[in-house]
Structure 1
Amino acid sequence: MLRIHFTPDDLTRIRVASTPDPLWETAFSLHRLQTTQGRWAYADWHRGTLAALTGTRLGAAVRGLLIPVLPRARYWPDFLTPAEGADGLEAGLAAVRDTPPERVVHEMRLLARCSGAPDWAPALAEPDLRNELVRVLRAYHDTVVAPHLDRMCESLAGERGLLARSTLNGGVGDLLNGLSPAMRWCPPVLHVDYVEDRDLYLDGRGLRLVPSYFCWKAPVSLADGTLRPVLVYSVQHVRPSGPAAPDAALSALLGRTRAAALRAVALGMTTSELARFLGVSPATATHHTTVLRDAGLSTSRRLQNTVLHTLTPLGAAMLRRPSPAEHAGAAVPSDF
């Protein structure tokens, strides 16, 4: 059990990540390759990742360099998921590269004691091997994580919508109570189901909450309680339905009422609120949200006894009416 102790100041300094954290997502995606748990939620990603890595130099580098230092275990080094990752991949990788050597040595010793570490792990304190680690992290992220950014942003946007609604309706207490089934808010302590028993005292530093697409069930925090406090937890995953027919679903969007529904969902609405807004029955509102969801324009998440509908990046783009653009798929970097 992890017990996170809040002061009154900490309750005013809770922040929720606004974009996926690239290094946390990279770490958790590597964990998804190391287990079959939750495989159904990442089936498409897993198939594509195996195709991109199998038989390649990048795949060999992932197996030989990344997985040994980012194992799916009770501990992995904190310096590989720095706070600077909140500012983007390059900022995070720069922080990894610039980590003081003595900290790298210390955390590698912890890895060896807690989870097991390769013989070469202490050499990560040296610039050459650390630069190689950064190079492989970047290539791995660009190849198998970045192509799923839209899906990750969709999940994060839906989660932020739920959290905003909980906070507006019930305050910070409802926010902390609704984060995950693995967490329980008993003021002034947030109890988190965890791999070890320990206490984290925020002492006025606040807490950064990071909803994660690739994290599966168990929340994660940094091992070093002196670092900037962060709590990473899994967003809700919905079992995929059968493949939709995109052309048919998009064609069904035509019409005044459904266009109004799309604009309304941009504000975040429950089914009953949407029905009142459109002046239709709840069943009709449900039909409209189903069509929007099947077309990839909205996402639906359960909030207690209601369902909250929010836009996906594609739905938001339709309302913005951007100029057409082709987005090339990621390729394995030529260095590999």
Structure 2
Amino acid sequence: MIAWEFGSADLAGLRFAHSPLAEVVASAFVLRNGGHGGLQASWRSRVLASLPRWPTFRAVLFGPHGHSPDFLTPPPRTARPTLAEELAAMAASPLDEVAAQVSAAWAGHDQPPEIRDPRTLLALLVPEIRAYFEVAIVPLWPRLRAAADAEIAGAARTMADHSARAMMARLHPKLDWTGSALLLRYPGKQGQWTLDGHHLTLLPTGFAGAEVFAMPDSPAGRTLWYAPGGHGNIWLPTAPNAPLAALLGPSRAAVLALVSAPYSTGEVAHQLGLAAGTASYHLTTLRDTGLVTAVRAGRRLLYQRTALGDQLVQDSRLTTPARRSPAGSA
């Protein structure tokens, strides 16, 4: 458990944004670590095949220690920055910081020649990230942006309807807020961080999946990345498909399709227009069959698909029969 000191007064500086570069870096983690429950398998295989085209990008993000240098993801200056804006901010990073962060990521190993000089590194990296973004991110960008926008709107609504504490509690099962600190449940890690006079920017990041990523000591600022609600639907149809509905029933299939990210019973009921008792019954049944897990976050019980649930949704989508073309058409 890590406690990030974050008192009530710091709420005045709290902000949300959606960062193209955060999606880029988080997507590289998916390429490196294997993704989440098979949902991204086709995306991953397609992008991995193109990875040799970007040697500088690969050297910076796929180093021997698995670190991502902080200069790659400067805190966004606006809520909806463009890739060009963020690349310009990245390219303006102090060269000594770039060199130090890359050296730390390759400590004990020989650095590839293209990343030894920070000026050359930045000159090569900017066009490679732009090319990578076109291949890996652009096809998913409308869904990534829509998921982040919905998450930010939902957080604002929770704060307006309830409280700042309720808003913080809904973010992610691995996060909790005590009123004086933001708690990050990192297995095997303990510590205490401070904002050190910086504002905190929360970044809903579709590729973050089940993980939470933090930049607690970057000279540029403090950020926290987490997956927005419903992030699994970025790779799935928005409505449950016919095989899944036939197996589970339409309502229960809709519940399973929805909880790719953590949802409470009330949120499931609201999203799907179900009675609270009906939503609770379906969630309990899915939990009892191993398709959904329940994690307590403060006073709330949050439900999310297990790897088995992810695989069932994915497999049923792949087995959906193709529609026949009208007679006479190609």
Bin for the TM-score computed over the shorter chain: 0.5 to 0.7
Gaps (5+ residues) in structure 1? 246-268, 287-302, 308-336
State the AA in 1 paired with 2:2: L
Match of 2:213 among 211, 214, 220: 220
Any conservation in 1 of the 2:216–2:223 contact (CA below 8 Å)?
Answer: no
Any conservation in 2 of the 1:6–1:203 contact (CA below 8 Å)?
Answer: no
CA distance in 2, matches of 1:226, 1:25: 21
Number of residue pairs aligned between Structure 1 and Structure 2: 252
After superposition, what is the alpha-carbon deviation per residue over 1:118-139, rounded to whole angstroms, capped at 9, x for unaligned? Answer: 343652412x332111110111
CA distance in 1, matches of 2:162, 2:124: 48
Show the counterpart of 1:83: 75
Show the counterpart of 1:164: 156
Closer, same or farther: CA 84–235 of 1 in aligned 2, 3 Å: closer
How is 1:235-250 mapped onto 2 (pairs within 5 angstroms)?
235-236=228-229, 237-238=231-232, 240=236, 244=241
CA distance in 2, matches of 1:129, 1:32: 23
Show the counterpart of 1:208: 201
Closer, same or farther: CA 59–122 of 1 in aligned 2, 3 Å: closer
Show the counterpart of 1:120: 113
CA distance in 2, matches of 1:69, 1:275: 43
1:28 CA displacement: 1.0
Match of 2:56 among 65, 69, 82: 65
Show the counterpart of 1:94: 88
Show the counterpart of 1:190: 182
SS at match of 2:88: helix
TM-score by length of 2: 0.65
CA distance in 2, matches of 1:71, 1:306: 33
1:227 CA displacement: 3.0
1:159 CA displacement: 1.8
CA distance in 2, matches of 1:282, 1:98: 53
Closer, same or farther: CA 95–124 of 1 in aligned 2, 3 Å: farther
Any conservation in 2 of the 1:97–1:134 contact (CA below 8 Å)?
Answer: yes
Show the counterpart of 1:181: 173
SS at match of 1:230: strand
Any conservation in 1 of the 2:216–2:222 contact (CA below 8 Å)?
Answer: no
Closer, same or farther: CA 43–208 of 1 in aligned 2, 3 Å: same
Show the counterpart of 1:131: 123
1:37 CA displacement: 3.8
Show the counterpart of 2:293: none
Identity between Structure 1 and Structure 2 (%): 23
SS at match of 2:165: helix
After superposition, what is the alpha-carbon deviation per residue over 1:237-282, rounded to whole angstroms, capped at 9, x for unaligned? Answer: 447479758xxxxxxxxxxxxxxxxxxxxxxx97877999xxxx95
SS at match of 2:68: coil
Closer, same or farther: CA 238–79 of 1 in aligned 2, 3 Å: closer
Given the alignment of the two structures, is residue 151 of structure 1 paired with residue 143 of structure 2, yes or no? yes
Match of 1:46 among 5, 28, 44: 44
1:171 CA displacement: 0.8
1:33 CA displacement: 1.2
Any conservation in 1 of the 2:199–2:222 contact (CA below 8 Å)?
Answer: yes
After superposition, what is the alpha-carbon deviation per residue over 1:55-91, rounded to whole angstroms, capped at 9, x for unaligned? Answer: xxx53133x3223311385632100111247522112
Gaps (5+ residues) in structure 2? 243-265, 280-296, 304-330
Show the counterpart of 1:299: none
Show the counterpart of 1:4: 4
CA distance in 2, matches of 1:176, 1:93: 30
TM-score by length of 1: 0.63
CA distance in 2, matches of 1:77, 1:275: 40
Given the alignment of the two structures, is residue 35 of structure 1 paired with residue 33 of structure 2, yes or no? yes
1:21 CA displacement: 0.8
CA distance in 1, matches of 2:180, 2:165: 10
Show the counterpart of 2:319: none
SS at match of 1:4: strand
Show the counterpart of 1:229: 222
Show the counterpart of 1:108: 102
How is 1:267-286 mapped onto 2 (pairs within 5 angstroms)?
none
SS at match of 1:232: strand
1:26 CA displacement: 0.5
The root-mean-square deviation of aligned C-alpha atoms, in Å, is 3.5
After superposition, what is the alpha-carbon deviation per residue over 1:118-164, rounded to whole angstroms, capped at 9, x for unaligned? Answer: 343652412x3321111101110122201211110232133224322
SS at match of 2:217: coil
1:95 CA displacement: 2.0
SS at match of 1:113: coil
